[in-house]
Amino acid sequence: MKFLRDPQEAPKPTRRPEDYNVEMLSKETLETYRRMTPGERLALTFEMIRENTPYLLAGSPDVVDRRFELLRRENDLRNARLLAALQAMKPRVGSGR
């Protein structure tokens, strides 16, 4: 497996952030999340992890391995894009913009 160490290796996003569907959650749900304390959001995260772990581990060892490999690839790509975006911001931060 190849890990992306250089943000330049990451595929360029085909859409801008403003192109993404921001209506995935209702405004009411988003407002509920915003009103939560960090502790409440963390508790909700742990609850979702507990509820979904059995499904993540279901199947033969080969299926589970492929599932985790896909998650790793998705996480690596997301992290590489984030690092590339931060790197692109770097010159602006120093110039006071």
User: What DSSP string runs through 62-87?
Assistant: HHHHHHHHHHHHHHHHHHHHHHHHHH
- Tens digit of pLDDT at every position of the chain (97 positions): 444 455 455 555 555 555 555 567 889 988 999 999 999 999 999 999 999 999 999 999 999 999 999 999 999 999 999 999 998 887 766 555 5
Residues 34, 50: one domain?
A: yes
Residues 54, 79: one domain?
A: no
Residue 87 domain flag: yes
Q: What are phi and psi of 20, to 5 degrees?
A: -70, 150
Residues 96, 65: one domain?
A: yes
Residue 7 domain flag: no
- The predicted model scores a pTM of 0.53
Residue 17 domain flag: no
Domain that holds residue 43: 26-58
Residue 36 domain flag: yes
Cα distances from 11 to residues 20, 42, 72, in angstroms, run 17, 31, 16
